[in-house]
A and B are shown apart, each in its own frame.
Chain A
Amino acid sequence: EDKVVQSPLSLVVHEGDTVTLNCSYEVTNFRSLLWYKQEKKAPTFLFMLTSSGIEKKSGRLSSILDKKELFSILNITATQTGDSAVYLCAVEQGGSEKLVFGKGTKLTVNP
């Protein structure tokens, strides 16, 4: 059965801390891995990863994929209260374009 597992399920940090969110997967016909940020609305796209070892970066956020070990991490440095959200990891299956989602990591950044 295809599955995506995220850890931790929730995380509480103070502003300025650095956090690492984890995503492991077992999905048939892997095409890409995607990270989303979800506040009280639809998920907002962050990164799409297709190749191992190539870091993608956007401001204080970065992500990398390991296709051999079947996992990805999302790093957020110098966290701010505005980073508080649920971060979703999803794996896209080739051919169908379906996304298999993890349960998400709820990040709370306290001032």
Chain B
Amino acid sequence: GAVVSQHPSWVICKSGTSVKIECRSLDFQATTMFWYRQFPKQSLMLMATSNEGSKATYEQGVEKDKFLINHASLTLSTLTVTSAHPEDSSFYICRPGQGRETQYFGPGTRLLVL
């Protein structure tokens, strides 16, 4: 299956700071990257879809100015949580799109904002 890495695996930050999460596809080129968020005891919620070389598409209710997505290459997509607040504390997971092989998730990043 597809190999996907995320960095960092967990991060603790102060309220008001920005946090960047990287998602890398290690053995294939991902033209699309899906970013999800999962709060405790809830299912995964799609936040946005990024496409290499173009602007990301955000789901309804997700602030594009707060969650900045960059997909500058076919192997790297980043999600930056700007001016993080405690309510942004969550589990952030990426999933590359690559034609038929779309079933694998990255290992996730746990964010705790104090």
List the interface of chain A (C-beta within 8 A of B).
34, 41-43, 45, 48, 88, 92, 96-99, 101-104
Contact = CB atoms under 8 A, between A and B. Distances in A.
8 contacts: A41-B107, A42-B105, A48-B103, A88-B44, A96-B49, A97-B32, A99-B44, A99-B95
Q: Is the interface of B mostly helix, strand, loop or mixed?
A: loop
8 interchain residue pairs of minimum CB distance? A42-B108, A97-B97, A42-B105, A101-B43, A45-B103, A97-B102, A103-B43, A42-B107
Nearest to A90: B44
Interface of B: 1, 32, 34, 42-46, 49, 91, 93, 95, 97, 102-108
Contacts of A104: 43
Contacts of B97: 97
A98 B93 CA distance: 14
A33 B104 CA distance: 13
Nearest to B45: A101
Contact of B44 (A41, A48, A92, A101): A101
B103 A34 contact: yes
B44 to A, nearest CB: 5
Contacts of A98: 34, 46, 49
